[in-house]
Amino acid sequence: MILFLLRRLATMAVTLAIISALVFFIIKLPPGDFLTNLIHELRAQNDSAAIAKAEFLIKQYGLDRPAWQQYLIWIGAMPGPNGFSGLLQGDWGWSFEYDKPVADVVGDALWLTLLVNLAAVLFIHLVAIPIAIYSATRQYSLGDYLATFIGYIGLATPSFLLALILLYYMNRWFGVSIGGLYDARFAGEPWTWEKIKSLLSHLIVPTVVIGLAGTASMIRRMRANLLDELGKQYYVTAKAKGLGPTKALLKYPFRMSLNPFVADIGNLLPHLVSGSVLVSLVLSLPTVGPILLSALKNQDQFLAGFILMFVAVLTVVGMLISDILLAWIDPRIRMGGGR
C-alpha cells in the first residue's frame, strides 16, 4: 500500500511538472502579454522614471532571460532575482492586471468558489440519488416518466439562462437581490456571524442553478447503472434470503452502482473551480471563474498560470482520492485480479 502510494505520488509529480510546462509556454506563446504591453507603454513614454520602471520589471521577471529560465524561476526550481521564489516555495507571483500579488487577488475567491461548488455537488447527490433509486425501482411508472421528463428539462436548460430568470423574478416577486454571495454591505468586512448568515442565504440560488444540470445527468446515469445491477443474480440471491426490498437494494445493487461515481471524483474537483463561469458572471458571484476568464483575456501570465495549475493539482489529487476510495470500497480492485 505504501509502495503504491509512493509510486502514485511520483507519477503525480511528473504529471504536474509536464502540465506546468505546458501551461507556462502556452500562456507565453502569443505575443502581447500584459507585461510586455506594459513595458512597451512605459518605454514609449520616454521619460527616465518610466524607463527605469520598465528595466526593473524586465529584471524582476527575468524577461531578458530565455523562456525556459523564466519557466524554472516561475515554478521555483531556479533562483530568480529574489532567490528561489516560485510556486514550489508558495510564491504565486504578481498579477499585473490588478497590480497585487496573485495570492491577494485569488484569496477569498478561491475558498468561496470551493464552497459554492461543493454545495452544488452535495445538492446534486442528495437530490439525484433518491430520485434515481425511485425511478430505477419503478421503471416505466408514472413517477419514472416524470423524473425523466424533469431531468431532460434540467439537462436542456442552460444554467445561465435559469440564473437570469431567477434573478429577475426573485427581485420582482420578493424584492430580493440574489446577486453576489453576501450582501453588498459586507464586502471587505471581516467574517462575522451576520456575514456568514448572509452568505448562506445567498448560497441557495447559485447552488440550485449550478447543480440542476448535474442533478439531471446524475439521475439518468444512476438510474441506468442501477437498472443494470437490479437484473443481476446476486440481487435475486439477496431477495431469496428474505431480505426486505429496501435493505437488499441499498446493500447490494446500490453499492455496486457507486463505482463509476467514485471514479468520477477526479473530474469533479477541477470542475469545482473552472465550471460555472457563466453562472458566476450572471449572478456576479465573487468566484475564481470570472477572474480566470479576464486573466486569460489579458494574458496576465502569473495569475492565469496559477489558476490553471491549481486546477491541475485538483485534478491529480482528485484522481488519487478516487483511486484510493475505489480500492477501499471495492475488494476486487483492492486485491488486484478477480473477475
Partner 1 sequence: MRYDVCLLEEPMEAPLLSIRQLTVDFHTDTGDFRAVDGLTFDIPKGRTVALVGESGSGKSVTAQSILQILPKRARISGGSILFNDPNLPAPVDIASLKPEGEAMHQLRGGRIAMIFQEPMTSLSPLHTIGDQISEALLIHADVSKAKAMQRTMEVLARAGFPDPKRALRNYPFELSGGLRQRAMIAMALITRPVLLIADEPTTALDVTTQAQILDLIKELQAETGMSVLLITHDLGVVANIADEVVVMYRGRIMEAGSREQIFRNAQHPYLQALIRAVPRFAMAENERLTPIREVKSAALAHAHAPERPQPQGPILKAEGLTKCFTLRSGRFFGKPRNVRAVNGVDLSLPVGRTLGLVGESGCGKTTVSKMIMRALKPDAGQVLFDDGTGPKDVYRLEGKELTAYRRSVQFIFQDPFSSLNPRMTVYEILTEPLRIHDIGTPDERYERVKQLLDMVGLDQRSLRRYPHSFSGGQRQRLGIARALALEPRVLLCDEPVSALDVSVQAQVLNLLKDLQSALGLSYIFVSHNLAVVDYIADTIAVMCRGYIVEEAPKSTLFRNPVHPYTQALLAAVPDPDLDRPLDFANLRADRFSDPAGWPEPFRIPDGEFGTMKEIEPGHKIRVGRPAAQEAA
Give the binding site for partner 1 (CB under 8 A).
1, 3-4, 139, 232-234, 236-245, 251-252, 255-256, 329-332, 335-339
Minimum Å distance from CB 11 to partner 1? 17
Alpha-carbon torsion angle 280, 96, 13, 116, nearest 10: -20
Closest CB to partner 1 among 118 and 333?
Answer: 333
Closest CB 236 distance from partner 1, rounded Å = 6
Query: Cβ closer to partner 1: 139 or 192?
Result: 139
Residue closer to partner 1 by CB (options 139, 171) is: 139
For residue 217, CA distances in Å to 148, 211, 224 come to 10, 10, 11
User: Least distance in Å: CB of 16 to partner 1?
Assistant: 25
Looking at beta carbons only, is 136 or 209 nearer to partner 1?
Answer: 136
What would the DSSP string read from start to end of 146-210? HHHHHHHHHHHS-HHHHHHHHHHHIIIII-----SSS-GGGTT----HHHHHHHHHHHHHHHHHH
Shortest distance, position 273 Cβ to partner 1, whole Å: 33
Which CB atom, from 176 or from 236, has the smaller least distance to partner 1?
Answer: 236
Give me the numbers of helices (H) and strands (E) for the chain, helices first please: 17, 2
C-alpha to C-alpha distance for 107 and 114, rounded to whole angstroms: 12
Q: Helices 34-45 & 48-60, crossing angle to 10 degrees?
A: 150
At its nearest, how many Å lie between partner 1 and the CB of residue 137?
Answer: 10
